[in-house]
Every structure is written in C-alpha cells, then in structure tokens.
Amino acid sequence: MSAVGAARALLVELTGTEPDGTWSAPGRANLIGEHTDYNDGFVFPFAIGERTHVALRHRDDGRIRVVSTFDADPVEVALTDLDGLFPARRDDVAEWARYPLGVAWALIQASGADAVTLGGVDLAFASDVPVGAGLSSSAAIEGATASALNDVWGLGMGRVALATAGTRAENEAVGAPTGVMDQLASMLGEADAAIFLDCRSLETEVVELGFGPAGLTLLVIDTGVKHAHSTGGYGERRAACERGAAVMGVPALRDLSVDDLPRAQELLDDVTFRRVRHIVTENQRVLDTVQTLRAHGPRAIGGLLDASHASMRDDFEISVPELDLAVDTSRATGAIGARMTGGGFGGAAIALVPDEHVEAVASAVTASFADAGFAAPHVFPVAASRGAGRDA
Ligand code: ADP
Ligand code: MG
C-alpha cells in the first residue's frame, strides 16, 4: 500500500471515520554543506520524492492523539497540557510521539494561539522515508504535522516559520540538537531544484539542479548503519565548533574564511583545528557548488562532492567504513562525485552518476559490501521534489 493509503487506513482504524484530509512532507538529501547549519553557514539540500503522510480528523474535545505505522500505541494529550509537557516532562512521552506533539506545542507557542480555542485532532502517520538513513524522516514527520495543523487551525504561518517550529520541536521536545536545514528543505523544496540556504539570515534561493537534462542520476546508498542524533558524536562535534569559534573570537565559524585557517592552526589544538577546517572549507564548497552549477552545469560539481567527503572523513571524522566504501566504490565504477550525506556516524551516501553507469555503480557497491562482510546496502535513485503541503 502507498504511504498515503496507509495513513488513511490507520486513521480509519483509529477513529472509525474517514479523514478530513491528508498532508505530507518529504525527506531530504543534502547535496553539500554538512554540519555547517549550526555554525550559521551555508547548506544546499533538496527535498526528495519519499514523503511522510498524515491523515487528519478533527475532534471536539481539545485533545490531540497521534498514531503511526511505526508504533502500535496511540499517544493522546489535551492541547492545554502540551505546555507542561515540553520541554520539562518530555520523557513522559514515547520518543516518536515527541516529534508531532512537539510540533503542535511549538506552533501554538510561535503563533500565540490560545490552546483552549483550538480544535482537537487525530493524526495518523505513515511514511516511505527510510528512518535514520540521513534522509531526515524527522523533518518529514515534523513538516507533515506543521503543514496540516497550520491549515486546520488557520494559523497563517509562513513556510520558514513552520520550519523553525519543526526545529524547535526537535531541539526542545525531542532533545536532539539539530539545525534548521532539514526542516527548511522539507518545507521549501521544488521539483528538480535544491535550496541554497544561508543558515544565519535564513535567506533561501531555489537553484535549478538540471540533473535529468544532463543525463545524471543521484543515487542514495543507505548503509543501514543507524545513527543516533540525541546522543554521542553529534553533540561533541557541535561543542568543538563552539570552542573553535570562541578561541578565534567570532560569533560562529561562518565568520571565518579559508584565509583565517593558518591563524586557527596556531591557536587551536589539533582536533579542534581539524573540526574548524572542515566547517570553513565546507562553507566555501557550498558557495563554489552553487556558482559552478550556474556557470558550468551539474557535471562540473563532482570534485566538490569528493572533497566534501574527504573533509568529513579526515577532518571532521564523522564517516564510518561502510560510508567510505560506498563512496570509493561509486567513484571507481563511474560516479562523477560522491560523499556521505547527513549528520554522519552511519546513514547514507550520495553518488552523482551518469545514467549509463547507474546499474554498474549500484551492483558494484552491493558486491563490495558483501565482500567486506557488511550488511547489504539499499541503493536507490532520488529526485528533487516539491515540499510540504496538502495532498491533492
Ligand atoms: P532521520 O531524520 O535521519 O531519519 P532521526 O533520528 O533524526 O533520523 O529521526 C528518526 C526518528 O523520527 C524515528 O526514530 C522516530 O522517532 C521519528 N519518526 C520519523 N518518521 C516517523 C513516522 N512516520 N512515524 C513515527 N515516528 C517517526
Ligand atoms: Mg533527523
């Protein structure tokens, strides 16, 4: 069954009635610009075709109930109780339910709406975005929720405000210290285009990718290695970036350029310096990618993707052997550029591949994983697609 069909069926099972409507939001792939978002820098993601759908039905009792195909148990709470739940008592809520309930909470806070006057809702979720693969199933569930509630509650919030509410939910209701990139990509995506985003000003520009006309396919290689954002390395990398910015006397690493790196190397310990060097060079690579795409088209950006991967592997140290193998094998068998994408420590790589080499790359990657004794990867093409909204 399609994800939209599954969301509808789940809602019917929950309420015994048809939904009022369905909304959806896509996952995203980041073409380039990794860990630059929380450093006030630049990113260049695009929304993918895989989406999380939510079927919605109003209720008259001011309560919100969420259910997902991921979890048999619905979670229900009064809208007026959300304020007491987040962030202080979030541990009382099943982890997955903090995403949609956190978005409801953040929307009420941001819009200034009185929770007493808002209608209750039942929300049933189903998704075809792979979870924990670096394709941001979290932004997809947040975006679907934000888009649906904004419409049915008549909040009149714009897309950037909805994205920001999703980020707040993820930071404060879930407890994952992520930036705003994923949510903005999921909200603002357009067919065959990526979103050039300045994470400081939140200014965005839609930039045509032109992969199809250039005979290129973007393959995702999901290694199946799970990452966990709320714990571990992600927070440690963030702390290193903050430390580097403090020593360098700038508000954020965004304010450094490659010309500042020699001074950074003098002032910082080796590990912090390499973290800083990744961010500074990655910001420059995002700018170069946008400029190269416009001037020379998508076949010219391969080297920038490769350099991004090397920087994440060697300087930021967030790759894993499965991601390195996916990237190296793709490059060796016809990809014009490849890199890990997402927060790292697992998840997916992307490879930009001429159409005629897609099958060779996919089967070589699968074979190389078998040879290395790794679990079979999931290799599939993604296409830049439209952002969140009501389903037709
Ligand atoms: P990613 O965003 O890279 O897929 P995250 O760890 O950020 O990985 O988010 C994944 C989490 O989001 C899941 O573990 C689950 O809690 C929640 N989630 C995402 N999609 C759904 C869904 N359709 N139903 C329920 N929970 C979901
Ligand atoms: Mg996520």
* Residue 52 CB less than 6 A away from ligand 1: yes
At 139 the pLDDT is 97
CA 40 to chain centre: 16
Which of the listed residues 96, 225, 340 should we mutate to test ligand 1's pocket, taking the one with most ligand atoms within 8 A of CB? 96
| CA dist., res. 183 & res. 157, Å (int) | 14
At 43 the pLDDT is 97
At 245 the pLDDT is 98
* Residue 134 CB less than 6 A away from ligand 1: yes
At 184 the pLDDT is 95
Reduced to 3 DSSP states, what percent helix, strand and coil does the chain have, rounded to the nearest 5? 45, 20, 30
The two tokens of residue 317 are 């140290």
Residue ranges covered by each domain of the chain: 3-206+386-390, 209-382
Q: What is the CATH number of domain 209-382?
A: 3.30.70.890
Q: In DSSP terms, which residues pair with 206 in a beta bridge?
A: 195
At 327 the pLDDT is 98
Mean pLDDT by 10 residues, the chain (392 residues): 97 97 97 95 97 98 97 94 96 96 98 95 96 88 98 97 97 90 96 96 96 97 78 86 98 98 98 98 98 98 98 97 98 98 92 98 98 97 97 92
What pTM was computed for the model?
0.91
Q: In DSSP terms, which residues pair with 381 in a beta bridge?
A: 219
Atom of ligand 1 nearest to the CA of 139: 2
At 72 the pLDDT is 77
| CA dist., res. 226 & res. 348, Å (int) | 10
Distance from Cα 34 to the centre of ligand 2, integer Å: 13
Atom of ligand 1 nearest to the CA of 134: 3
At 133 the pLDDT is 77
The two tokens of residue 359 are 């099958």
Phi, psi of 33 (to 5 degrees): 105, 80
b/e 205-232 (16+ beta carbons within 10 angstroms → b)? eebbbebeeeebbbbbbbbbbebebeee
Distance from Cα 228 to the centre of ligand 2, integer Å: 9
Count Cα neighbours of 377 within 13 Å in the Cβ-side half-sphere.
34
* Residue 167 CB less than 6 A away from ligand 1: no
The two tokens of residue 151 are 């419409």
Q: How far is CA 387 from CA 27, 75, 190, 293, in A?
A: 9, 27, 6, 22
At 232 the pLDDT is 75
At 230 the pLDDT is 46
Which of the listed residues 138, 231, 234 should we mutate to test ligand 1's pocket, taking the one with most ligand atoms within 8 A of CB? 138
Same fold, 3-206+386-390 and 209-382: no
Structural class in CATH, domain 3-206+386-390: alpha beta
